[in-house]
Structure 1
Amino acid sequence: MSSSAPGPRSSRRQSTRRTPWLGVVLIGLALVLLFGAGFGLSRLIRNASNGGDAAPTTGSSQSTDNPEPCITTTVIPGADLPKPNTVTTNVYNATDRAGLAAATADELKGRGFLIGTVANDPKAKTVTGAAEIRYGTKGELAAKLMSYYILGATLVNDGRADNTIDTVLGAAFVSVAAQSDVDKALAEPSPTASGPGCSSSAAPMDSSEPATDSGSSTTPSAS
């Protein structure tokens, strides 16, 4: 038996069967591409939006990290110090120079200070510097004032309860400062750092340790 070749009508039927599947595949590919493009575009928009919002956050973080201010102000040294006529000082001689305490006490009295005891140093300490100014908490400002009159003096907090001070003259003492120099120093403005950002490493003027008698040697002296 012989078979006949398929005719044109049969070919058209087979082509018609394949066409719907091809369309479905093409539509699926188109949807995938469209979804991918939409997803990529949404990511770009989201990233751009996040980047715009992050800028203020960065700025606020930087402002938070800024150090606290340290402001330098000008102060007058003598503004908070007492007047000489309100300060009582004992004057002691810690040297072997006779009459040193008496002469210095007369000079300080002439400057307005109230004079207490004039004698040799009761602690019998060797004071190699110009002087020691001994004081307690109540006499802190009085001691600072005296340090402008006795240049080079060391301030020593000895823990006394009253507001008197001791001016103890040492080997390097020469004379009481001229009143004009004292007035100039007390009135001369000086810069002082203040504020939460300032360093606290600077030692106060009266940071000396309380005086003790340990290790001190007796020196012959005369008031």
Structure 2
Amino acid sequence: MTVPMYDQARVERRRREHERQAVIFGVIIAFLAVCGIFALAIYTGALTSPISRPFVTPGAAGQESLPAPCLPAVDGQPDGALPVPYDQVQVRVLNASGEQGVAAAFEEALIARQFTMVAEPDNAPVTIEYTELRFGTPGITAAYTLAAHFSEIRMVLDQRQDATVDLLVGTEFEAPLDADQVTLAADKPLQNADDCEPAAEIEPQPVLTPEPEESASPAAG
């Protein structure tokens, strides 16, 4: 025979368990909803992400963190290296974005500022996210001169032995600064990049070779 008081206690216990479960699941659902709203706000730009590391564009090759080389000491310039005259900065523009016409547009902008092009625009053998300059030790001052025309740009030391500079235009490219925003002056020494390291202490990267014509995509130029 069932004892009525026992049945009532069992019913009350089950009811409390259901209430606890409802509260737990309710909190979890509310938390997930808040996370979803927060993520959507960051994605749309309504909020700034608290994470300083940039998001990686799917399909873009990872760009490892590489130190920028410091400017070299120059005889007769005790205050630091001076900018290289633009027409003496030899540049090759490579499209590392996959977007057609980008390299040609950058080349046109640099020619208008009297930079010297040493080759036609071409496709880079990699796709990168952030636009960067690649250059050897002889081209450090030239690279700093060109870098001053951009609000942000990566500086990568490679193994070349001449003073040419490669400009690799990435998927998140930004146009060069307006000419009146470039703060270079012929008699004003260049400033080292933040956290730069002496070139002799940096392991230079391999020199990138543009894609051969037969495999180059229509995005070249």
TM-score normalised according to structure 1 size: 0.50
Sequence identity (%): 25
Separation in 1, partners of 2:119, 2:191: 37
Separation in 1, partners of 2:187, 2:177: 15
Aligned residue for 1:177, secondary structure, equals coil
For residue 100 of structure 2, what is the aligned residue in structure 1? 98
Separation in 2, partners of 1:104, 1:93: 10
* 8 Å Cα contact 2:87-2:116 kept in structure 1: yes
Matched, 1:203 2:196: yes
Separation in 2, partners of 1:145, 1:212: 22
For residue 165 of structure 1, what is the aligned residue in structure 2? 165
Q: What CA deviation, in whole Å up to 9, does each residue of 1:111-136 have, x standing for no partner?
A: 010012233334x122111x121111
* 8 Å Cα contact 1:98-1:222 kept in structure 2: yes
2:88 to 73, 86, 89: 86
For residue 147 of structure 1, what is the aligned residue in structure 2? 147
Q: What CA deviation, in whole Å up to 9, does each residue of 1:149-202 have, x standing for no partner?
A: 13321111111011111011111112111111113699889999xxxxxxxx95
Separation in 2, partners of 1:136, 1:104: 21
Amino acid at match of 1:91: V
Using the TM superposition, give the Cα deviation of residue 84 of structure 1 relative to its aligned residue in structure 2, in angstroms. 0.7
More helix by share: 1
Separation in 1, partners of 2:102, 2:133: 16
Separation in 2, partners of 1:101, 1:167: 9
For residue 24 of structure 2, what is the aligned residue in structure 1? none
Separation in 1, partners of 2:197, 2:107: 28
Using the TM superposition, give the Cα deviation of residue 90 of structure 1 relative to its aligned residue in structure 2, in angstroms. 0.3
Residues 138 and 154 of structure 1, relative CA distance in 2, 3 Å threshold: same
Separation in 2, partners of 1:175, 1:149: 9
Structure 1, unaligned stretches of length 5 or more?
1-74, 193-200
Separation in 1, partners of 2:121, 2:184: 31
* 8 Å Cα contact 2:148-2:184 kept in structure 1: no
Using the TM superposition, give the Cα deviation of residue 96 of structure 1 relative to its aligned residue in structure 2, in angstroms. 1.7
Q: Specify the structure having the higher radius of gyration (Cα).
A: 1
Separation in 1, partners of 2:136, 2:86: 17
Separation in 1, partners of 2:133, 2:89: 13
